[in-house]
């Protein structure tokens, strides 16, 4: 019980098949979406979310959301042989993606990959993909990515409250017996939810297809900053200091105007736990994220 979670991030790259129709029309333009699914093997609790990218940073954030939804950590995670997880096999030994491997080691979850061309090794997750196609997707309409994910979360609540055909029990009832490990502290999450971005010379940073204006003070134009995405908020860091917190926009090709300059930190005050000022500022950050995630 609680020994294994099976997860897959599906799109058109890395040889993976398409989970769902992976493009949607927004204001006359087509945009790609990717679907992430996860299932706990014992209870059959399912989790589904949709994202704009299919890289290692996005996969890690999807796993974070899944673990938080399940309320704990399993002992192992079984995934597809995608480049965001496994680079190659060397003499039957896996050569892991360094960022993914560091993340899994830091939270104490053992990474595993399915054997190539043997879908029976991941039957539970493949069945979940089929259920999503047949139950969630037909007839669904949504205005943006946030709307779609709200509907996906509501669908998960419904499906996890129904009697499973194999176990003849509700997943939510069996979930109590999963014996999952406790979730790590917030800082352990945030350093892996961080990506580097270069600020344009006019003070804007691009993230998930949206331009966000940064404060003019401190001056960061032309420099590299760290952007941390957690729970719908973007925290922007420069030289260990939080310079802005912004609500993440779900629609691509938007441009968010510059926010007001952040308050300076007084001498002797810790850099942890302060927030940027201005209309776009959110709650204070629990700590300074690291710089281990790659940019895209």
Q: In the chain, where does the domain assigned CATH 3.30.420.10 lie?
A: 4-181
User: Rounded distance, CA 127 to CA 38, Å?
Assistant: 11
DSSP labels, 4-39:
EEEEEEESSSTTPPPSS--EEEETTEEEE-EEEEEE
H or E segment to which residue 279 belongs = none
pLDDT at 104: 93
pLDDT per residue, tens digit, the chain (296 aa), is 344 555 655 443 333 333 344 455 566 667 778 889 899 988 999 999 999 888 899 999 999 999 999 999 999 998 888 888 989 888 888 899 999 999 999 999 999 888 777 666 666 777 777 788 888 888 788 888 899 999 999 999 999 999 998 899 999 999 989 889 999 887 777 788 899 999 999 999 999 999 999 998 889 999 999 999 988 999 999 998 999 999 999 988 899 987 655 444 433 333 333 333 333 433 333 333 333 333 33
CA angle 123, 127, 133 (to 5 degrees): 150
What's the farthest any 2 CA atoms get from each other in the chain? 62
- pLDDT at position 12, please? 35
Q: Is the peptide bond before 176 cis (omega within 30 degrees of 0)?
A: no
* CA dist., res. 217 & res. 243, Å (int): 8
pLDDT value, residue 26 = 61
CATH 3.40.47.10 fits 4-181, yes or no: no
- For residue 175, the surrounding DSSP H or E stretch is none
- The predicted pLDDT at position 235 comes to 94
């Amino acid at each position: 019980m609680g020994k294994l979670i099976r997860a897959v991030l599906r799109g058109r790259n890395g040889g993976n098949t398409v989970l769902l129709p992976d493009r949607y029309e927004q204001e006359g333009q087509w945009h790609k979406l990717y679907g992430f699914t996860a299932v706990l093997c014992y209870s059959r609790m399912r989790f589904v979310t949709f994202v704009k990218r299919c890289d290692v940073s996005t996969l890690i954030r999807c796993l974070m959301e899944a673990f938080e939804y399940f309320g704990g950590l399993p002992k192992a995670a079984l995934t597809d042989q995608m480049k965001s997880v496994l680079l190659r096999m060397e003499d039957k030994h896996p050569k892991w993606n360094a960022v993914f491997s560091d993340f899994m080691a830091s939270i104490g979850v053992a990474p595993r990959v399915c054997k190539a061309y043997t879908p029976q090794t991941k039957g539970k997750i493949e069945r979940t993909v089929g259920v999503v196609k047949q139950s969630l997707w037909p007839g669904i309409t949504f205005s943006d990515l946030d709307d779609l994910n709200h509907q996906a979360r509501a669908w998960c609540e419904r499906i996890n409250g129904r009697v499973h055909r194999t176990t003849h029990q509700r997943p939510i009832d069996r979930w109590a017996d999963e014996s999952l490990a406790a979730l790590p502290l917030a800082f352990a999450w945030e350093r892996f939810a961080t990506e580097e971005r270069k600020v344009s010379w006019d003070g804007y940073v691009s993230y998930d297809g949206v331009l966000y204006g940064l404060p003019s003070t401190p001056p960061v134009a032309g420099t590299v900053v760290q952007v941390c995405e957690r729970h719908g908020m973007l925290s922007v860091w420069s030289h260990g200091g939080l310079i802005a917190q912004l609500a993440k926009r779900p629609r691509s090709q938007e441009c968010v105007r510059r926010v007001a300059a952040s308050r300076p930190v007084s001498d002797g005050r810790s850099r942890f736990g302060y927030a940027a000022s201005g209309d776009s500022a959110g709650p204070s950050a629990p700590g300074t994220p690291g710089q281990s995630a790659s940019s895209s």
